[in-house]
Amino acid sequence: MFNSSLYNFKPNGFSTRALATGVAAEADPTNTIPSVSEINQFFVPSAGEGAFGKIELYSSKYYIAGGIGGALSCGLTHMAVTPLDVVKCNMQTNSAKYPSIGTGFGLILKEQGFGGILKGWMPTLLGYSLQGACKFGLYEFFKKYYTDMAGENADAYKTAIFLAGSASAEFFADIALCPFEAVKVKVQTVPGFANGLRDGWPKFIAQEGVGGLYKGLVPLWGRQIPYTMMKFACFENTVVALYKHVVPKPKSECTKTEQLGVSFLAGYIAGVFCAVVSHPADNLVSKLNAGGEGATAGSVIKEMGLVQLCTRGLPLRILMVGTLTGLQWGIYDAFKVFAGLPTTGAATPKK
Protein backbone atom coordinates (compact mmCIF):
# COMPACT_ATOMS: atom_id res chain seq x y z
CA MET A 1 0.00 0.00 0.00
CA PHE A 2 2.84 2.37 0.82
CA ASN A 3 6.18 2.94 -0.89
CA SER A 4 8.52 0.99 1.35
CA SER A 5 11.55 2.10 -0.67
CA LEU A 6 11.40 5.39 1.21
CA TYR A 7 12.79 3.55 4.23
CA ASN A 8 15.74 1.85 2.52
CA PHE A 9 18.47 4.49 2.89
CA LYS A 10 21.02 3.92 5.71
CA PRO A 11 22.56 7.10 7.15
CA ASN A 12 25.44 6.50 9.57
CA GLY A 13 24.87 2.78 9.57
CA PHE A 14 21.21 2.90 10.61
CA SER A 15 18.52 1.28 8.53
CA THR A 16 15.48 3.53 8.58
CA ARG A 17 13.38 0.53 7.59
CA ALA A 18 14.53 -0.99 10.86
CA LEU A 19 13.75 2.22 12.71
CA ALA A 20 10.26 2.30 11.22
CA THR A 21 9.56 -1.12 12.71
CA GLY A 22 11.14 -0.29 16.05
CA VAL A 23 14.21 -2.52 15.53
CA ALA A 24 17.68 -1.01 15.35
CA ALA A 25 20.14 -2.17 12.74
CA GLU A 26 23.83 -2.39 13.50
CA ALA A 27 25.26 1.09 13.82
CA ASP A 28 28.60 2.73 13.47
CA PRO A 29 29.70 3.43 17.09
CA THR A 30 30.63 6.98 16.09
CA ASN A 31 27.19 7.88 14.78
CA THR A 32 25.17 10.64 16.46
CA ILE A 33 21.68 9.47 15.49
CA PRO A 34 19.28 9.19 18.48
CA SER A 35 18.48 5.72 19.72
CA VAL A 36 15.23 4.08 18.68
CA SER A 37 13.66 4.82 22.08
CA GLU A 38 14.32 8.53 21.54
CA ILE A 39 12.70 8.71 18.11
CA ASN A 40 9.32 10.41 18.00
CA GLN A 41 6.81 7.62 18.57
CA PHE A 42 4.44 9.14 16.04
CA PHE A 43 6.74 8.03 13.27
CA VAL A 44 7.87 4.77 14.88
CA PRO A 45 5.13 3.58 17.24
CA SER A 46 5.00 -0.01 18.47
CA ALA A 47 2.00 -2.28 18.60
CA GLY A 48 1.21 -4.88 21.19
CA GLU A 49 -1.40 -7.39 22.24
CA GLY A 50 -4.84 -5.95 22.92
CA ALA A 51 -8.46 -6.98 23.11
CA PHE A 52 -8.41 -7.94 19.42
CA GLY A 53 -5.06 -9.72 19.45
CA LYS A 54 -1.93 -8.28 17.94
CA ILE A 55 -2.61 -5.52 15.41
CA GLU A 56 0.16 -4.82 12.93
CA LEU A 57 0.78 -1.11 12.49
CA TYR A 58 -0.59 0.38 9.25
CA SER A 59 -2.43 -2.83 8.40
CA SER A 60 -6.12 -2.93 7.49
CA LYS A 61 -6.94 -3.89 11.08
CA TYR A 62 -5.00 -0.84 12.30
CA TYR A 63 -7.09 1.57 10.22
CA ILE A 64 -10.31 -0.25 11.13
CA ALA A 65 -9.40 0.11 14.79
CA GLY A 66 -8.85 3.83 14.20
CA GLY A 67 -12.27 4.05 12.57
CA ILE A 68 -14.01 2.27 15.45
CA GLY A 69 -12.27 4.47 18.00
CA GLY A 70 -13.22 7.56 16.01
CA ALA A 71 -16.87 6.50 15.76
CA LEU A 72 -17.05 5.99 19.52
CA SER A 73 -15.24 9.21 20.36
CA CYS A 74 -17.25 11.49 18.07
CA GLY A 75 -20.68 9.83 18.14
CA LEU A 76 -20.96 9.47 21.91
CA THR A 77 -19.54 12.88 22.79
CA HIS A 78 -21.67 14.83 20.32
CA MET A 79 -24.78 13.00 21.47
CA ALA A 80 -23.93 13.78 25.10
CA VAL A 81 -23.87 17.54 24.46
CA THR A 82 -27.10 17.60 22.43
CA PRO A 83 -28.76 20.04 24.90
CA LEU A 84 -25.91 22.53 24.45
CA ASP A 85 -26.09 22.06 20.70
CA VAL A 86 -29.86 22.72 20.65
CA VAL A 87 -29.40 26.01 22.52
CA LYS A 88 -26.41 27.02 20.39
CA CYS A 89 -28.22 26.40 17.11
CA ASN A 90 -31.27 28.38 18.27
CA MET A 91 -29.07 31.26 19.43
CA GLN A 92 -27.43 31.29 16.00
CA THR A 93 -30.65 31.20 14.01
CA ASN A 94 -32.88 33.40 16.21
CA SER A 95 -30.77 35.61 18.46
CA ALA A 96 -33.70 37.96 19.20
CA LYS A 97 -35.64 35.18 20.92
CA TYR A 98 -32.61 33.35 22.35
CA PRO A 99 -30.14 36.12 23.33
CA SER A 100 -28.19 34.11 25.94
CA ILE A 101 -27.45 30.58 27.08
CA GLY A 102 -29.61 30.80 30.20
CA THR A 103 -32.54 32.37 28.35
CA GLY A 104 -32.24 29.77 25.61
CA PHE A 105 -32.40 26.83 28.01
CA GLY A 106 -35.29 28.39 29.90
CA LEU A 107 -37.40 29.14 26.84
CA ILE A 108 -36.87 25.74 25.23
CA LEU A 109 -37.75 23.93 28.46
CA LYS A 110 -40.83 26.12 28.95
CA GLU A 111 -42.14 25.81 25.39
CA GLN A 112 -41.08 22.28 24.46
CA GLY A 113 -40.43 20.51 27.74
CA PHE A 114 -37.42 18.35 28.57
CA GLY A 115 -37.70 16.58 25.23
CA GLY A 116 -37.05 19.88 23.47
CA ILE A 117 -33.43 20.10 24.62
CA LEU A 118 -32.81 16.53 23.47
CA LYS A 119 -34.15 17.02 19.94
CA GLY A 120 -31.89 15.72 17.21
CA TRP A 121 -29.97 13.23 19.34
CA MET A 122 -30.40 10.40 16.84
CA PRO A 123 -29.11 12.19 13.70
CA THR A 124 -26.35 13.56 15.93
CA LEU A 125 -25.32 10.08 17.07
CA LEU A 126 -25.43 8.48 13.61
CA GLY A 127 -23.97 11.43 11.71
CA TYR A 128 -21.05 12.06 14.00
CA SER A 129 -20.31 8.34 14.40
CA LEU A 130 -19.88 8.09 10.63
CA GLN A 131 -17.91 11.31 10.56
CA GLY A 132 -15.66 10.16 13.42
CA ALA A 133 -14.96 6.82 11.77
CA CYS A 134 -13.84 8.57 8.58
CA LYS A 135 -12.03 11.39 10.39
CA PHE A 136 -9.84 9.30 12.67
CA GLY A 137 -9.47 6.19 10.51
CA LEU A 138 -8.55 8.15 7.40
CA TYR A 139 -6.30 10.48 9.40
CA GLU A 140 -4.22 7.48 10.44
CA PHE A 141 -4.08 6.42 6.78
CA PHE A 142 -3.20 9.83 5.34
CA LYS A 143 -0.71 10.54 8.13
CA LYS A 144 1.21 7.43 7.14
CA TYR A 145 0.76 8.15 3.43
CA TYR A 146 2.19 11.67 3.65
CA THR A 147 4.94 10.50 5.99
CA ASP A 148 6.02 7.99 3.35
CA MET A 149 5.93 10.72 0.71
CA ALA A 150 8.20 12.93 2.82
CA GLY A 151 10.65 10.09 3.43
CA GLU A 152 13.73 11.12 5.39
CA ASN A 153 12.36 14.67 5.73
CA ALA A 154 9.20 13.51 7.53
CA ASP A 155 10.27 14.73 10.97
CA ALA A 156 11.07 18.21 9.64
CA TYR A 157 7.64 18.48 8.02
CA LYS A 158 5.57 16.69 10.63
CA THR A 159 3.25 19.67 11.31
CA ALA A 160 2.55 19.93 7.58
CA ILE A 161 1.85 16.17 7.61
CA PHE A 162 -0.62 16.60 10.48
CA LEU A 163 -2.38 19.42 8.62
CA ALA A 164 -2.51 17.66 5.25
CA GLY A 165 -3.56 14.32 6.74
CA SER A 166 -6.39 15.79 8.81
CA ALA A 167 -7.67 17.98 5.95
CA SER A 168 -7.75 15.01 3.59
CA ALA A 169 -9.60 12.87 6.12
CA GLU A 170 -12.16 15.56 6.96
CA PHE A 171 -13.01 16.12 3.28
CA PHE A 172 -14.49 12.62 3.12
CA ALA A 173 -15.82 12.65 6.69
CA ASP A 174 -18.05 15.66 5.94
CA ILE A 175 -19.66 13.93 2.98
CA ALA A 176 -20.82 11.25 5.43
CA LEU A 177 -21.94 13.80 8.03
CA CYS A 178 -23.73 16.39 5.88
CA PRO A 179 -27.18 14.76 5.40
CA PHE A 180 -27.52 14.04 9.12
CA GLU A 181 -26.36 17.54 10.04
CA ALA A 182 -28.99 19.08 7.75
CA VAL A 183 -31.83 17.10 9.34
CA LYS A 184 -30.48 17.68 12.86
CA VAL A 185 -30.42 21.47 12.52
CA LYS A 186 -33.89 21.53 10.98
CA VAL A 187 -35.32 19.41 13.79
CA GLN A 188 -33.63 21.50 16.47
CA THR A 189 -34.43 24.99 15.16
CA VAL A 190 -37.80 24.81 13.35
CA PRO A 191 -40.62 24.30 15.88
CA GLY A 192 -43.04 21.59 14.83
CA PHE A 193 -40.93 20.41 11.88
CA ALA A 194 -40.27 16.91 13.25
CA ASN A 195 -39.50 15.02 16.43
CA GLY A 196 -36.32 13.36 15.22
CA LEU A 197 -34.60 11.45 12.43
CA ARG A 198 -37.41 8.98 11.71
CA ASP A 199 -39.96 11.61 10.70
CA GLY A 200 -37.49 14.42 9.96
CA TRP A 201 -35.53 12.62 7.22
CA PRO A 202 -38.46 11.86 4.85
CA LYS A 203 -40.07 15.26 5.54
CA PHE A 204 -36.82 17.08 4.77
CA ILE A 205 -36.44 15.20 1.46
CA ALA A 206 -40.08 15.84 0.58
CA GLN A 207 -39.62 19.57 1.08
CA GLU A 208 -36.12 20.16 -0.30
CA GLY A 209 -35.25 17.04 -2.28
CA VAL A 210 -32.26 14.75 -1.84
CA GLY A 211 -29.97 17.54 -3.01
CA GLY A 212 -31.13 19.63 -0.08
CA LEU A 213 -29.38 17.23 2.26
CA TYR A 214 -26.10 18.45 0.80
CA LYS A 215 -26.98 22.14 0.56
CA GLY A 216 -24.69 22.88 3.47
CA LEU A 217 -21.74 20.72 2.32
CA VAL A 218 -19.46 23.55 1.18
CA PRO A 219 -20.04 25.61 4.35
CA LEU A 220 -19.59 22.37 6.32
CA TRP A 221 -16.21 21.88 4.67
CA GLY A 222 -15.48 25.50 5.52
CA ARG A 223 -16.29 24.82 9.17
CA GLN A 224 -14.96 21.31 9.65
CA ILE A 225 -11.75 21.23 7.61
CA PRO A 226 -10.09 24.20 9.39
CA TYR A 227 -11.48 22.87 12.67
CA THR A 228 -10.03 19.41 12.09
CA MET A 229 -6.67 20.73 10.88
CA MET A 230 -6.42 22.75 14.08
CA LYS A 231 -7.75 19.84 16.14
CA PHE A 232 -5.12 17.35 14.99
CA ALA A 233 -2.08 19.59 14.43
CA CYS A 234 -2.62 21.53 17.66
CA PHE A 235 -3.23 18.32 19.59
CA GLU A 236 -0.12 16.57 18.28
CA ASN A 237 2.12 19.57 19.00
CA THR A 238 0.49 20.24 22.38
CA VAL A 239 1.25 16.66 23.42
CA VAL A 240 4.90 17.28 22.55
CA ALA A 241 4.90 20.53 24.54
CA LEU A 242 3.23 18.94 27.58
CA TYR A 243 5.73 16.10 27.76
CA LYS A 244 8.59 18.53 27.24
CA HIS A 245 7.59 21.32 29.65
CA VAL A 246 4.84 20.09 32.01
CA VAL A 247 4.99 16.33 32.59
CA PRO A 248 7.98 15.61 34.86
CA LYS A 249 9.01 12.42 33.07
CA PRO A 250 9.23 11.09 29.49
CA LYS A 251 6.19 9.54 27.86
CA SER A 252 7.85 6.12 27.88
CA GLU A 253 7.93 6.24 31.69
CA CYS A 254 4.30 7.38 32.11
CA THR A 255 1.54 4.92 32.89
CA LYS A 256 -1.28 4.49 30.38
CA THR A 257 -3.58 6.44 32.72
CA GLU A 258 -1.12 9.34 32.81
CA GLN A 259 -0.79 9.26 29.03
CA LEU A 260 -4.58 9.37 28.65
CA GLY A 261 -4.66 12.37 31.00
CA VAL A 262 -2.21 14.14 28.72
CA SER A 263 -4.40 13.23 25.73
CA PHE A 264 -7.48 14.79 27.36
CA LEU A 265 -5.67 17.98 28.39
CA ALA A 266 -4.05 18.43 24.97
CA GLY A 267 -7.42 17.76 23.33
CA TYR A 268 -9.16 20.41 25.44
CA ILE A 269 -6.51 23.02 24.65
CA ALA A 270 -6.78 22.18 20.95
CA GLY A 271 -10.57 22.40 21.18
CA VAL A 272 -10.51 26.05 22.30
CA PHE A 273 -8.54 27.01 19.19
CA CYS A 274 -10.79 24.82 17.05
CA ALA A 275 -13.92 26.62 18.25
CA VAL A 276 -12.60 30.07 17.39
CA VAL A 277 -11.34 29.07 13.94
CA SER A 278 -14.49 27.23 12.87
CA HIS A 279 -17.19 29.38 14.49
CA PRO A 280 -18.04 31.68 11.55
CA ALA A 281 -18.70 28.69 9.30
CA ASP A 282 -20.68 27.01 12.09
CA ASN A 283 -23.01 30.02 12.23
CA LEU A 284 -23.31 29.90 8.45
CA VAL A 285 -24.22 26.20 8.39
CA SER A 286 -26.86 26.62 11.09
CA LYS A 287 -28.51 29.59 9.36
CA LEU A 288 -28.46 27.90 5.95
CA ASN A 289 -30.07 24.70 7.18
CA ALA A 290 -32.69 26.55 9.20
CA GLY A 291 -33.43 29.20 6.60
CA GLY A 292 -35.23 27.11 4.00
CA GLU A 293 -34.79 26.75 0.27
CA GLY A 294 -34.06 30.41 -0.50
CA ALA A 295 -31.22 30.86 1.98
CA THR A 296 -27.74 31.41 0.53
CA ALA A 297 -24.32 32.00 2.06
CA GLY A 298 -24.36 35.57 0.77
CA SER A 299 -27.78 36.35 2.24
CA VAL A 300 -26.80 34.93 5.63
CA ILE A 301 -23.56 36.94 5.77
CA LYS A 302 -25.42 40.10 4.77
CA GLU A 303 -28.09 39.51 7.39
CA MET A 304 -25.72 38.71 10.28
CA GLY A 305 -22.70 40.86 9.45
CA LEU A 306 -19.11 39.71 9.93
CA VAL A 307 -18.91 40.57 13.63
CA GLN A 308 -22.03 38.58 14.52
CA LEU A 309 -20.95 35.79 12.20
CA CYS A 310 -17.72 35.41 14.18
CA THR A 311 -19.05 36.00 17.71
CA ARG A 312 -22.71 34.97 18.05
CA GLY A 313 -22.83 31.92 20.32
CA LEU A 314 -19.02 31.74 20.57
CA PRO A 315 -18.67 31.34 24.39
CA LEU A 316 -21.04 28.38 24.37
CA ARG A 317 -19.24 26.88 21.39
CA ILE A 318 -15.87 27.21 23.15
CA LEU A 319 -17.31 25.42 26.20
CA MET A 320 -18.91 22.73 24.05
CA VAL A 321 -16.06 22.18 21.57
CA GLY A 322 -13.31 22.31 24.19
CA THR A 323 -15.05 19.65 26.26
CA LEU A 324 -15.91 17.62 23.16
CA THR A 325 -12.40 17.66 21.77
CA GLY A 326 -10.79 16.76 25.08
CA LEU A 327 -13.19 13.85 25.59
CA GLN A 328 -12.80 12.71 21.98
CA TRP A 329 -9.04 12.42 22.24
CA GLY A 330 -9.39 10.73 25.63
CA ILE A 331 -11.87 8.17 24.31
CA TYR A 332 -9.95 7.63 21.07
CA ASP A 333 -6.63 6.99 22.81
CA ALA A 334 -8.36 4.85 25.46
CA PHE A 335 -9.70 2.65 22.67
CA LYS A 336 -6.24 2.47 21.10
CA VAL A 337 -4.81 1.30 24.44
CA PHE A 338 -7.67 -1.21 24.72
CA ALA A 339 -6.75 -2.49 21.24
CA GLY A 340 -3.05 -2.78 22.18
CA LEU A 341 -1.91 0.31 20.25
CA PRO A 342 0.15 3.29 21.47
CA THR A 343 -1.52 6.58 22.39
CA THR A 344 -1.32 9.39 19.84
CA GLY A 345 1.60 11.81 19.87
CA ALA A 346 4.97 11.60 21.59
CA ALA A 347 7.75 13.60 23.15
CA THR A 348 10.26 15.46 21.02
CA PRO A 349 13.36 13.34 20.29
CA LYS A 350 16.42 14.14 22.36
CA LYS A 351 19.27 15.65 20.36
User: Between the CA of residue 39 and those of 6, 81, 144, 270, what are the distances in Å?
Assistant: 17, 38, 16, 24
Q: How far apart are CA 91 and CA 103, in angstroms?
A: 10
Q: Write down the number of H helices and E strands in the chain.
A: 11, 2
Q: How far apart are CA 159 and CA 311, in angstroms?
A: 28
Determine the residue type at 149. Answer: M
The series of mean pLDDT values per 10 residues for the chain, 351 residues long, is 38 35 37 36 48 82 95 94 87 83 89 88 96 97 94 90 96 97 91 90 94 91 89 93 89 90 93 85 76 72 84 84 89 94 64 33
With a CB cutoff of 8 Å and minimum separation 6, the contacts of 202 are none
Query: Is the Cβ–Cβ distance between 262 and 243 less than 8 Å?
Result: yes
Write down the domain spans for the chain.
Answer: 59-338
The DSSP bridge partners found for residue 49 are 54
Q: pLDDT tens digits, residue range 291-331? A: 666 677 788 788 888 888 888 888 888 887 888 899 999 99
Q: Which CATH architecture has domain 59-338?
A: Alpha/alpha barrel (1.50)
- Quickly count: other Cβ atoms within 10 Å of residue 249's Cβ: 10
Give buried/exposed letters for 301-319 (b at 16+ CB in 10 A, else e): beebeeeebeebbbebbbb
> pTM to 2 decimals?
0.74
